[in-house]
Amino acid sequence: MIELHGQGVSRGIALGPIRRYERQQPAVEPVPIADIEGELARLEAAREKASAQLETLYQDTLGSLGEANALLFQIHQMMLEDPDFCDSMEQHIRDESVCAPYAVQEAGQEAAAAFAAMDDAYMQARSADVLDVSARLIRILTGRDEETLDFASPAILAADDLAPSETARLDRSKVLAFVTAGGSSNSHTAIFARTMGIPAVVGLGEALEQLTAGCEAAVDGSTGEVILEPDADTHALFLDRQDALRNEDALAEAYRGKASRTKDGHSIELCANVGGPGDVDAALEGDAEGIGLFRSEFLYLQRSDYPDEETQFAAYKDVLQRMGGKRVVIRTLDIGADKQADYFQLPHEENPAMGLRAIRICLTRPEVFRTQLRALYRASVYGKLAIMFPMITHPREVRQIKTIAAQVRDELTAEGIPFSPDVELGIMIETPAAALLSRELAREVDFFSVGTNDLTQYTLALDRQNSAVAQFDDPDHTAVLSLIHMAAQNAHAEGIWIGICGELGGDPSLTETFLRMGIDELSMSPASILRIRAKVCVIEAL
């Protein structure tokens, strides 16, 4: 028996034989060509064919896995059309007089290296996407078919890494789990695995080499354990864990459509955290009562320039319409620290988590802030919108924000553009200062939402990006819980509601504690909602 550890990124237990998947993409040699224009035309034809294939993949995935996952293939289509990528392929052909497949290979590797070198984990994960797109082009140019991923019988799939298009082609009934050497919880392999409900462990590194085809393995997608040739006791232990999870899911499913209420009648709203319009289907599928946190940064991160008002308006309108009157809390941009977009040209900082981020950027670049607020207010007539501001430390900032918001409303009125008069304005409680000043802050706004990820980071002086200090993290830390309790009391004393949208909101071990504090709303990953509702509904009395 050999025990390996990776990062568990998709909950679930699997027991079964290993199947290895080696991507057969031999390196392409630089074959010299004489007819440069002919080679460019060949590349153009291949791009068109790749685009058509991606459109089919988009439509198929839309039907089977929903918009959140299908969206990826639109991103691949955009990469195919990206002017820098196209120029780079063309330049290799023109400058080096080499064949198109070689030019694609080189341009793809250069673009992938550029993504991999970025600070933001989301952008780093896009490196696999650009390699996937160039592999597709090379296959078309060299006349090779896609390697089949058909399994004769169910197995645990072990691969160096899985490209998103490979993951989407897998037969769910045959793949017991994914185990990969590379990847991160932000990679699309992980995102697809969670949506497909397939257990997954990523980041095993070189240890993956020990997984030979045919050997038996046990995988726990929560703990990240991968056990090779498990002995009888381990096998039984994993079967017990599997039973426990299945029971938990079956019990939770019974709460679909039910009210989130304790037996003695205390209600709480259970909402979803989403990263963009693509996640709205998952929120509805998870039976969310609303969206408690829409991280609007996605609109800013995947681009080379600021998104304009129309782009933002379309995204917000889409989400509000699809949530059909349920409340959608959209957080204004939270760029900075771990979320960087080059075009913001933020200065290098010694302590970026305590630097120019979130509302501090909005208040120092009011034109960026105004564009977002205009788009939000314009979208407000399409549903029930609440706007939330991150990283607040002082009531003065809130007053400044409210002045800008009032100016934006006046501008829209003067232009005859309609907006809802009922848009709630709220703030995140994610700094100790905000919790300590919550009584005064509560007089300024309509609601609070506690960002426990940052509140924990700033209260415990524990960098959330630094895995070396993860062992000092403590979700039950009295200091953090006391600050949340204080904010809840102050919110209610001033007659406003308070939610929790950090990761602790979906932690079942704290659900009862939060109910006792009087928290009005919990927002979490869509897949956690039914399990937390099950937890709420069995509480006898508070």
Q: Which residues contact ligand PEP (rule: CB under 6 A)?
A: 293, 295, 334, 430, 451-454, 501-502
Query: Could you please report the per-residue DSSP string of 313-343?
Result: HHHHHHHHHHTTTSEEEEEPP--BTTB--GG
For residues 331 and 326, what is the distance between their CA atoms, to the nearest angstrom? 16
Amino acid at 433: A
In the bound state with ligand PEP, the residue whose beta carbon lies nearer, of 430 and 521, is 430
In the bound state with ligand PEP, the residue whose beta carbon lies nearer, of 252 and 429, is 429
Catalytic-role residue among 99, 271, 362, 501: 501
Indicate the Cα dihedral angle 234, 235, 236, 241, nearest 10°: 90
In the bound state with Mg ion, the residue whose beta carbon lies nearer, of 126 and 357, is 357
In the bound state with ligand PEP, the residue whose beta carbon lies nearer, of 79 and 504, is 504
Q: At its nearest, how many Å lie between Mg ion and the CB of residue 351?
A: 16
For residues 112 and 126, what is the distance between their CA atoms, to the nearest angstrom? 8
* Beta bridge mates, 4: 226
501 touches which of Mg ion, ligand PEP, none (CB within 5 to 8 A by kind)? Answer: ligand PEP
Beta-sheet strand order (sheet of 175-180): 2-5, 225-228, 216-220, 13-21, 155-159, 175-180, 200-202, 7-10
Q: At its nearest, how many Å lie between Mg ion and the CB of residue 451?
A: 4
Q: What angle do CA 29, 187, 474 make, to 5 degrees?
A: 145
In the bound state with ligand PEP, the residue whose beta carbon lies nearer, of 337 and 442, is 337
302 contacts: CB under 8 Å, gap ≥ 6: 75, 122
6 touches which of Mg ion, ligand PEP, none (CB within 5 to 8 A by kind)? Answer: none
8 contacts: CB under 8 Å, gap ≥ 6: 200, 201, 220, 221, 222, 223, 224, 225
Per the annotation, the verdict on 537 as an active-site residue is no
In the bound state with ligand PEP, the residue whose beta carbon lies nearer, of 230 and 390, is 390
Q: At its nearest, how many Å lie between ligand PEP and the CB of residue 293?
A: 6
For residues 419 and 416, what is the distance between their CA atoms, to the nearest angstrom? 10
In the bound state with ligand PEP, the residue whose beta carbon lies nearer, of 38 and 475, is 475
Counted residue by residue, the chain has a size of 542
Q: At its nearest, how many Å lie between Mg ion and the CB of residue 391?
A: 7
* Beta bridge mates, 270: 522
For residues 455 and 440, what is the distance between their CA atoms, to the nearest angstrom? 18
In the bound state with ligand PEP, the residue whose beta carbon lies nearer, of 211 and 455, is 455
Q: At its nearest, how many Å lie between ligand PEP and the CB of residue 292?
A: 9
195 touches which of ligand PEP, Mg ion, none (CB within 5 to 8 A by kind)? Answer: none
Per the annotation, the verdict on 188 as an active-site residue is yes
Query: By the 8 A CB rule, do 302 and 74 touch?
Result: no
Amino acid at 86: C
Catalytic-role residue among 188, 271, 362, 485: 188
Helices 36-65 and 121-142, packing angle to 10 deg: 120
Q: At its nearest, how many Å lie between ligand PEP and the CB of residue 514?
A: 14
Q: At its nearest, how many Å lie between ligand PEP and the CB of residue 483?
A: 13
Site of interaction with Mg ion (CB under 5 A): 430, 451, 454
Alpha helices in 66-120 (DSSP H): 67-81, 83-96, 100-116
Q: At its nearest, how many Å lie between Mg ion and the CB of residue 339?
A: 10
Alpha carbon 195 to its chain's center: 12
**Residues annotated as catalytic (active site), given as ranges:** 188, 501
